[in-house]
């Protein structure tokens, strides 16, 4: 969490709100912008949180460069990762004086390509949205702040308090900043996605791809199945009963509503191991061994209402690992996958194909086919990406697996020694290159590392045992922990991801396949899956 920088404190702030105050803000803006706000509404963006929406009117005349950066971010549908765009500090309005609490809702907007410039430096009033100079942290002022003078770039205006008020009422912990200031830090961060106003499914095609509209229109109609909903309202569900009668297999495969009412496939193997896969995101959200050991991890800020990708389990990153031209980790984890097949293996196959939503970001025809099986205790996954169009395209991908650990600081990963890795902690777009010298990679601080040319087998010691991963044609492994950026939960999980980091070019009609088998053992996995077909954890596929 970063401290509100450049704060100059003066006495005399009053932070109460009433109609008079709003009028004063409106007049104040009128004076600065030279026109009545309501008759010139201008452009607005919407932040979608699990508690509802926050509409931010862009003050374009006051801060033209900042507002255009924010608009671009919204139009390109970034901010889909809870880590990069989230509120992390909630300070209510003080009963009197300047605080504490400091009358603001603070967050980060780290998907901005660069730090915003310093402009729009008027006195901060209730409703103003301001950046903290020198970075991408920002706040919504919940009260007037004359004590700060003109030290913050003001670029937006919020005048509906319903959602901010809910976030301000969430639990916080006190955190003493070096300077002695006690900050209220949210126990669970509140992530948001950003869209231009009116774009309720992450919106119309962005202007950069406007020429694609014609191409989209010429294509056979195919429903956009990736309508990420804005709020925690009723979730659109497929007809799970009819899916179950079509695909259910006695005792082995059942389709029913899972968490949040999302259509979910439940697998049960002969020995009693289970797995859950949501059609939204094609995400394995649970894998339990026959002994009842849950191996995966769902973050406490995960929501199951399609307002954002499921934060946990095994989300897909496709067609982009990121950062890159489209939203971080691509759109596959935002989309409803189709249930295409099941057998009493138990096995299920989900399919995602291009549609208007995906064309809005990525102008390619594709089919992604994802098969998940339970073989005894082992969970096996296979992803086949086919170019169904008539031109080549490039993509990269990962299986962004979240694993529960007894303690992040004692979790280790073996199998990576001697590899070159890209350290992305400081700057994911410009990583530094290092060599892994350790036999056991650890998580003792923020880790965001891509190991290139990783071996087929790596093992995570999660504190309760070993999670073995045997992969085929996933050339890279990503290790990630957000560390204290996710204060509420970072001790409980690590991500060990099978990845294809370098872009793969697929010619028209060509296909790319990758697979991983996961096995959990409470005893150390000395060796596993040595090509012995009798070992259940070995990759087993019948094509
Ligand atoms: O989108 P999520 O699930 O919060 O994960 C984000 C993280 O995912 C990891 O795969 C990346 O290496 C990190 O750079 C990124 O921050």
- For residue 478, the CA-to-ligand 1 centroid distance in Å is 10
* Contact of 529 with 519, CB cutoff 8 Å: yes
Q: What torsion, rounded to 10 degrees, do the Cα atoms 386, 388, 390, 396 define? A: -40
Region 156-180 average pLDDT: 83
Give strand ranges (E) for 269-401.
Answer: 274-278, 283-288, 316-317, 338-343, 347-353, 366-375, 378-387, 393-399
Determine how β-strand 172-176 pairs with β-strand 154-157: unpaired
Cα(141)–Cα(122) distance, rounded to whole angstroms?
13
Question: Using a 6 Å cutoff on CB, does residue 308 contact ligand 1?
Answer: no
**The pLDDT value given to residue 100:** 84
| Residues assigned a catalytic role | 400, 497
Cα(137)–Cα(130) distance, rounded to whole angstroms?
9
Q: Give yes or no for residue 541 having a pLDDT over 60.
A: no
* Contact of 456 with 463, CB cutoff 8 Å: no
Cα(355)–Cα(375) distance, rounded to whole angstroms?
33
Cα(335)–Cα(333) distance, rounded to whole angstroms?
6
Which helix H or strand E contains 432, and what residues bound it? Answer: strand 432-435
Which helix H or strand E contains 96, and what residues bound it? Answer: none
Domain boundaries, the chain: 19-196, 215-403+476-518
Question: Using a 6 Å cutoff on CB, does residue 329 contact ligand 1?
Answer: yes
Cα(288)–Cα(169) distance, rounded to whole angstroms?
35
- For residue 150, the CA-to-ligand 1 centroid distance in Å is 35
Atom of ligand 1 minimally distant from the CA of 317: 10
* Contact of 442 with 436, CB cutoff 8 Å: no
Which residue of 480, 493, 498 sits with most ligand 1 atoms within 8 Å of its CB, as the best mutation to test the pocket? 480
Question: Using a 6 Å cutoff on CB, does residue 497 contact ligand 1?
Answer: yes
| ipTM of the prediction | 0.98
Band of pLDDT at residue 423, cut at 50, 70 and 90: very high
Give the 3-state secondary structure of residue 148: helix
Structure tokens that stand for 442 in this block: 């650890």
* Full 3-state SS string of 483-522: HHHHCCCHHHEEEEEEEEEEEEEECCCCEEEEEEEEEEEC
- CA-CA distances (angstroms) from residue 343 to 52, 253, 272, 288, 506? 40, 8, 16, 19, 29
The reported pTM is 0.63
Question: Using a 6 Å cutoff on CB, does residue 112 contact ligand 1?
Answer: no
**The pLDDT value given to residue 41:** 60
Cα(173)–Cα(1) distance, rounded to whole angstroms?
12
**The pLDDT value given to residue 532:** 57
- For residue 480, the CA-to-ligand 1 centroid distance in Å is 7
Cα(145)–Cα(264) distance, rounded to whole angstroms?
48
Give the 3-state secondary structure of residue 469: strand
Per-residue DSSP letter, 537:
T
- For residue 404, the CA-to-ligand 1 centroid distance in Å is 16
Please say whether the structural domain 19-196 has been given the CATH code 3.90.1300.10: no
Which residue of 328, 446, 449, 488 sits with most ligand 1 atoms within 8 Å of its CB, as the best mutation to test the pocket? 328
Cα(222)–Cα(203) distance, rounded to whole angstroms?
17
* Across 141-150, 184-193, 278-287, least confident range: 184-193
Residue closest by Cα to atom 2 of ligand 1: 81
Task: Give the architecture-level CATH label for domain 215-403+476-518.
Answer: Distorted Sandwich (2.70)
Cα(506)–Cα(389) distance, rounded to whole angstroms?
10
SS3 content of the chain, % helix, strand, coil (to 5): 15, 35, 50
What percentage of the chain reaches a pLDDT higher than 90? 59
Residue closest by Cα to atom 8 of ligand 1: 480
| End-to-end Cα distance, the chain | 50
**The pLDDT value given to residue 234:** 33
- For residue 142, the CA-to-ligand 1 centroid distance in Å is 31
Question: Using a 6 Å cutoff on CB, does residue 301 contact ligand 1?
Answer: no
**The pLDDT value given to residue 537:** 53
**Count of residues in the chain:** 543
**Residue given tokens 């191991």 in the structure block:** 273
Question: Using a 6 Å cutoff on CB, does residue 86 contact ligand 1?
Answer: no
**The pLDDT value given to residue 273:** 97
Question: Using a 6 Å cutoff on CB, does residue 485 contact ligand 1?
Answer: no
Atom of ligand 1 minimally distant from the CA of 191: 4
The residue among 81, 84, 107 whose CA lies nearest residue 311 is: 81
Tell me the per-residue pLDDT of 399-413, one tens digit each, with 9 for 90 and over: 999 999 999 999 999
Region 420-427 average pLDDT: 94
* Full 3-state SS string of 220-272: CCCCCCCCCCCCCCCCCCCCHHHHHHHHCECCCEEEEECHHHCEEEEEECCCC
Question: Using a 6 Å cutoff on CB, does residue 428 contact ligand 1?
Answer: yes
Band of pLDDT at residue 422, cut at 50, 70 and 90: very high
Atom of ligand 1 minimally distant from the CA of 398: 10
Region 290-302 average pLDDT: 95
- For residue 479, the CA-to-ligand 1 centroid distance in Å is 10
- For residue 311, the CA-to-ligand 1 centroid distance in Å is 10
Band of pLDDT at residue 95, cut at 50, 70 and 90: confident
The secondary structure of 154-185 as a DSSP string is EEEE----HHHHHHHTS-EEEEE-TTSPEEEE
* Contact of 454 with 420, CB cutoff 8 Å: no
Residue closest by Cα to atom 5 of ligand 1: 81
The residue among 14, 35, 44, 230 whose CA lies nearest residue 142 is: 14
Band of pLDDT at residue 538, cut at 50, 70 and 90: low
């Amino acid at each position: 969490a970063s401290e509100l920088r450049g704060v100059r404190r003066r006495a005399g702030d009053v932070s109460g709100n009433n109609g008079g105050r709003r009028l004063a803000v409106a007049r104040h803006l009128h004076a600065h912008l030279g026109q009545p706000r309501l008759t010139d509404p201008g452009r607005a963006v919407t932040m979608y949180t699990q508690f509802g929406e926050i509409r931010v009117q862009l003050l374009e005349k006051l801060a033209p460069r900042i507002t255009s950066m924010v608009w671009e971010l919204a139009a390109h549908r970034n901010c889909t990762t809870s880590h990069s765009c989230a509120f992390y500090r909630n300070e209510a309005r003080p009963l009197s004086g300047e605080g504490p609490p400091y009358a603001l809702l603070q967050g980060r907007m780290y998907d901005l390509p660069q730090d915003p410039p310093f402009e729009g430096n008027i006195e901060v009033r209730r409703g103003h949205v301001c950046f903290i100079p020198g970075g991408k942290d920002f706040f919504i002022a919940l009260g007037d702040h004359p004590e700060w003078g003109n030290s913050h770039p003001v670029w937006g205006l919020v005048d509906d308090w319903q959602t901010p008020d809910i976030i301000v009422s969430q639990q916080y912990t006190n955190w003493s900043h070096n300077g002695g200031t006690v900050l209220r830090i949210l126990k669970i961060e509140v992530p948001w996605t950003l869209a231009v106003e009116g774009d309720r499914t992450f919106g119309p095609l962005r202007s950069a791809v406007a020429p694609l509209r014609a191409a989209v229109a010429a294509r056979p109609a195919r429903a956009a199945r990736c309508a990420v909903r804005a709020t925690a309202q009723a979730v659109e569900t497929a007809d799970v009963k009819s899916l179950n009668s079509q695909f259910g297999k006695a005792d082995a495969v059942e389709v029913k509503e899972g968490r949040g009412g999302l259509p979910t496939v439940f697998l049960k193997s002969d020995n009693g191991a289970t797995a859950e896969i949501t059609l939204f995101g094609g995400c394995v959200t649970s894998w339990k061994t026959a002994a009842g050991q849950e191996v995966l991890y769902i973050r406490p800020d995960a929501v199951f209402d399609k307002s954002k990708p499921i934060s946990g389990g095994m989300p897909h990153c496709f067609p982009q690992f990121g950062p890159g031209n489209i939203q971080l980790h691509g759109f596959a984890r935002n989309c409803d996958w189709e249930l295409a097949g099941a057998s009493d293996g138990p096995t299920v196959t989900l399919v995602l194909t291009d549609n208007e939503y995906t064309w809005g970001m990525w102008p390619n025809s594709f089919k992604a086919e994802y098969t998940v099986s339970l073989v005894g205790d082992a969970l096996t996954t296979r992803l086949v990406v086919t170019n169904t169009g008539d031109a080549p395209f490039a993509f990269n991908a990962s299986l962004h697996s979240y694993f529960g650990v007894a303690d992040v600081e004692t979790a280790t990963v073996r199998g990576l020694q001697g590899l070159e890795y890209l350290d992305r902690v400081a700057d994911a777009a410009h990583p530094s290159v290092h060599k892994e010298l350790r036999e056991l990679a650890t998580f003792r601080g923020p880790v965001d590392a891509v190991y290139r040319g990783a071996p087929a087998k790596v093992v995570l010691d999660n504190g309760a045992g070993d999670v073995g991963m045997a992969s085929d044609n996933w050339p890279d492994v990503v290790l990630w922990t957000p560390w204290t950026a996710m204060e509420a939960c970072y001790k409980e999980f690590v991500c060990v991801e099978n990845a294809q980091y370098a872009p793969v070019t697929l010619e028209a009609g060509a296909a790319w396949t990758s697979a991983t088998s996961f096995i959990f053992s409470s005893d150390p996995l000395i060796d596993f899956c040595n090509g012995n077909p009798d070992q259940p954890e070995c990759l087993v596929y019948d094509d």
